[in-house]
Structure 1
């Protein structure tokens, strides 16, 4: 007997398929349980995550621009040049924040849909309800653990793994390093910037701005690397899980048999149905019921009577 989900040969001594863990005799998708498409939302989430990572790369490398502008301000003794550095930082930060929020919403929607699909997969063993796919990202302190558990469940039950794939740990570890590191670096930047002279007028005061931007670059390297690793691993997870779920959902769609009288591909448009020769009365109908009964002629009923 072959498994209805993966097609592997199963053993009657086991209760489930040893490859995809679908119980014997169960279909790939439980009939009557709704499923959700994750391909489109997964693609949108992947694009948004990638765009967020690229925009953060520009934000993290901004101190290079700031150091150049601070050096120009020192040479010209013009503090207005330093306002250009602030303006460039704002111009780079706003698109990053917009992409970040967009990616967060799309990833949450994708996670919820993928988690709901597990309810329709026989053999899947989700440990948390579908509501945690949304609340897990929003509840304080729970968002340090719950999203990783939900995605780990998605990876195991969608990719037919007994244990959580290592890519999940890579993604979550990098995400925590980016999230916590970026907050720490931002707070440190604000405190260091507040100690700078508001209206520099001498060469040493301008030099403090140059040193500030040059030192800023090193602090941003750790969150930057963590952001790129987290984004890349999450994109791979989204694509793999989405593809696996879409393939399984396709297996659950009924393949309706073709009726013999339905038109076949390539048939002429004017004759969609083949002509059926008439060889006699339909089955179950006798000749006496097809022919009209004889009526005896009455008086005056015929000409010349």
Structure 2
């Protein structure tokens, strides 16, 4: 049962209060707590479970991976047909097969866009909930206001680093604590890998798409198709790393909520 006063930590007293609200916990040794955290009982927000949203994000990311695989297959098919045509100077070029291959590539791209948009919406909702929970855990560890957990994604150019700053604050506040108030450092590698590959994927996809749109000669189209295949591969890897990031951060936050905040 949660504390009847703050509603965020497990109750330990007969009247349903946690150790912090009841004032029964011992203060941790000096220097073990991060400087200036806001007590959970004084926070404006209430904890809400991110587990359901995390599961939805993971499922949608799996769909993104599936569409990436479809796009890769379609792209390799187009590149194979075009490469063969260039090799024999288009003497045995099958126009109907080329049209089917191009049509499949367009359909695969449409599936990709739809999956990415749906995933982005749910991911941002999950990200906002994680940020609000982090405000409860430790508002002082957050570099930006909660509203930026949504707005940062829509700021041109700056959206390549602002969400990472916010994610770093969430990660720090969600680090699990021991019952004596000491901190257990959680490696940020899952977050850094996901963010680095995702940014690379976004930038490279824009470059590859522009090259494909500008291509006119058969060899130029063939080379641009190869770039798109590489872009789809990067997107697939980014989605896999995103699943790992979402699951890891959610697990950290759930663990932090279970432990509660040590007395100050």
Q: Same fold (TM over 0.5)?
A: yes
Match of 1:176? 199
Match of 2:244? 236
* Secondary structure, aligned partner of 1:159: coil
Structure 2 vs 1, CA of residues 237 and 64 (structure 1 numbering), >3 Å: closer, same or farther? closer
Match of 1:218? 226
Structure 2 vs 1, CA of residues 11 and 89 (structure 1 numbering), >3 Å: closer, same or farther? same
In 1, distance between residues paired with 2:130 and 2:189? 19
Identify the range of structure 1 (158-167 vs 111-120) with the bigger mean alpha-carbon deviation. 158-167
CA deviation map 1:17-41 (0-9, x unaligned) = 4xxx5989x66x6677412221010
Match of 2:253? 245
Structure 2 vs 1, CA of residues 133 and 166 (structure 1 numbering), >3 Å: closer, same or farther? same
Structure 2 vs 1, CA of residues 68 and 75 (structure 1 numbering), >3 Å: closer, same or farther? farther
* Secondary structure, aligned partner of 2:137: coil
Match of 2:70? 58
**Residue 72 (structure 1) shift:** 7.7
Count of matched residue pairs = 227
CA deviation map 1:133-172 (0-9, x unaligned) = 1001011122111111111111121125668713322222
Higher normalized contact order (CA 8 Å, seq sep 6+, divided by chain length): 2
- Structure 2 stretches of 5 or more lacking a match? 1-18, 177-183
**Residue 83 (structure 1) shift:** 1.6
Residue 43 (1) aligns with residue 66 (2): no
Structure 2 vs 1, CA of residues 32 and 140 (structure 1 numbering), >3 Å: closer, same or farther? closer
In 2, distance between residues paired with 1:116 and 1:41? 14
Q: Check whether the contact 2:67–2:108 (CA below 8 A) recurs between aligned residues.
A: yes
Selected match of 2:161 from 145, 149, 162: 145
Match of 1:289? none
TM-score (norm 2): 0.72
CA RMSD of aligned residues (A): 3.4
CA deviation map 1:160-193 (0-9, x unaligned) = 566871332222211111001001101101111x
Selected match of 1:128 from 124, 140, 144: 144
Structure number with bigger Rg: 1
**Residue 13 (structure 1) shift:** 4.2
